[in-house]
Structure 1
Amino acid sequence: MATEYGQGYGHGHGHPAGSGHPAPDGERRHLLPAALRAPIEARSCREFGYVLLSLPIAVVLFSWTVTMVALGAGLLVTFLGIPVLAGALASCRGFGALERTRARALLRLEVADPEPLRMRKPGVFAWMGAVLKSGTSWRHLLYALLQFPWAVFSFVVAVNFWVYGWALLTYPLWFWLFPMYGGQGGLQLYGDEHHSVYLDNPFEITVTALVGLLFTLATPWIVRALTTVDGLLVRGLLGPSRLSARVVELESDRGVVVDTAAADLRRIERDLHDGAQARLVSLAMDLGLAKEKLQEDPQAAARMVDDAHGEVKTALQELRDLARGIHPAVLTDRGLDAALSSVASRCTVPVRVEVDLPARPAPAIEGIAYFTVSELLQNISKHSRARTASVDVWRSEDRLLIQVMDDGAGGADASRGSGLAGLAGRLDAVDGVLVVDSPAGGPTRVIAELPWRA
């Protein structure tokens, strides 16, 4: 399971500076800072459009939901209330699908669809029971009730800031309309029977435009803050629940564990078949020949027995290596410190090992930590071209942290389907995390984080 650690060393994955290739979209430099270009950005227009659409959609959704729920609750004294409530919840789920699509299109918000209805058997009654018992349906209903007042508030705030901002900012352009076509001396701020105040001199007009500029520049960020709350509502109430997401994650992790165990079994079987088993078969044949020659040629038989003795030592060493690959005895007897020091002594690069643990974690976590360091050191030996390396292991609250560093050529990438990706999947199966920091030219730092389970 060796990682393709050295592929790409010295071969950057992007275009170097000065190569003539354009920079990616996310790296283009803008002439204006973010605060000045925000009012004319496409993102700001999408978010403002989302706020404008939220009000009519919220009115329809709220009115429909309240009407149907009230009708269903009133009819619960008869059987008719159950299908009415089920229909109300189903319609809320349909509106939820529309809202998720709108959030993806305008807010670029990636929200997974919630878990589907689970019916033990087909039929209308089974469907109604599944809708009424589904927590997802009731979360969609809650969204319909909560989104209406928030949509009203967002609409009023966003529209007022947008309208007043642009109106004040462009006031110098249409100021001439007031005295020429409106018969007024400018924009009236106050007026009664005796007094009237107009914005009609250059200083006041300039101040008005500056205030409008501030409003215009602030509006996109205010709208962005409003749509952030919308995103939280959509993600929290219309997406999958934490429990269902956790179930999906555990099912995926279980598949990774099963695949990893099957791959390990195949590796062990292959090593036994190609290594120790083949050597033992050859040894049995040699001993059989030596037995036949024992009476005819004792000296030849003795030489064959001596060769067989050497084969036995080699087979025993292969079996010890295989057992160490499954679970080393030093790890069970003396813990991570001694086991990692043993692994580091077999690395082709000088390795400093420092283990600072107040106690031993669970055997399963300890084994995963051992094999993580073992594979990373194997990668350093094969691919990194490093001169020195280090291994640090410590505990932070309820997590076991491992850091492996080397001063090699860098360029390791866990996203290319290499052994690092497989190692990350193995850690993820136990709620662990693998972080790889390996710029071209080095150094490389890999941090593994595992749960501490004593």
Structure 2
Amino acid sequence: MTSTPAPAATAPTAPRPSARRLLGALAQLAAMAVAGTVLFTMLSVLLSIGLSLLLVIGIGILFLIAFVYVLYATAWLEYSRAEGLYGYGLPALRTRRMTRPGFSGWLRMVWQQFTDGPMWRGVAGAALATLLGSMVIVLASTIATGVGLLVSPLFGAEVIPSPWFGLMLEPGWAALVGGIAVLVSAALLFGIAVLDGVLTRAILVPSREAVLAQQAATSDVQRAGAVRASEVERTRIERDLHDGVQPRLVSVGMTLGLAQQKIDSDPDAARDLIAEAHTSTKAAITELRQLARGIHASVLDDRGLDAALSALAARSHVPVHLDVRVEGRCTREAEAAVYFAIAESLTNAAKHSRAAECRVIVRRRDDGTLWARVEDNGTGGARVIPGGGLDGIHNRIIAARGTVRLDSPVGGPTSLEVSVPCAS
């Protein structure tokens, strides 16, 4: 199996400052001054209550979990603000999911969320945006006051009280002080708007070296998944040939040998043996056809994923409710990965789960991924075992740059979700 190398990564360039972007930054920073203050107040309250009640009652863990996910909400808000304003192409911030069953797996998920680096970068960006937003509000108030002093001589007052230091100013000095306050505050607002773009890019946007390192690590994982998937597939083919087709062909050879011995002495028995060999040969051909279909589904190339899955559902021993809504075609690699993941899931449901029915949902999402979910109402308890069917699904999807999520509690039901980039 070959894979197309990923294009060289380049760090996003800073967008050129424009009046619209600068004004948008100032408006967003002012809003963050309010929202950030509320969020960080909540965080401090949740953390203090959680730590104080953790050893006393133990219920503090609930407050600490809430603290973790308010952290995530704060980071998500900052990522959304930065991406909407600057368009750096930042990846969407996602919550961590369980990779192990049970309570320990849940605690591990919460800990991974708490130690998530991108989340903490988002929190740091939100903290700076809150601080800058507070400065924006102060400077905006200063500008408003300066404008008032600037136009105050028009009202004919002989002495004008200054809002700063309790000074009483003559009209000329009041206009001068007001004008200086407006100019200085406007210059500082411009600097804050520019600074926000610089700091946001420095905190949230990974460097080119980090992007290259991440791509290298991802390529290593994909390469390992591809190698492992090919090994699992080869082992499966060898097992099916050794346990299925080979014994049947050996039996056909032995039956034909007996028929050859009896063809002169007992023609009727020989004809029966030849008929039996003929039946076994057709069964072997059927098994070979099914094995070949497991290696490559020609209907997938000819008619697309919907038709291939319809044929797959028709052959399933477990009734399948199929819901496929895919506009257009994805790459052959993406369609094949999702097809074989669904096929293996249905095979597992028929062999192991004692399911009465299955449901298959396939969608092409707006973010350019091909997503599928397979559910069955069986007994659950499915686990990824090296060399097993679920291991093969995992390796094949990883090799196609996708993700896999298995949820199979003991007692059922079982659900498997896969997501693969359409243009992988």
TM-score, length of structure 2 as denominator length: 0.48
**Whose relative contact order is higher, 1 or 2, with alpha carbons under 8 Å and at least 6 apart?**
1
Query: Bigger radius of gyration, 1 or 2?
Result: 1
TM-score, length of structure 1 as denominator length: 0.46
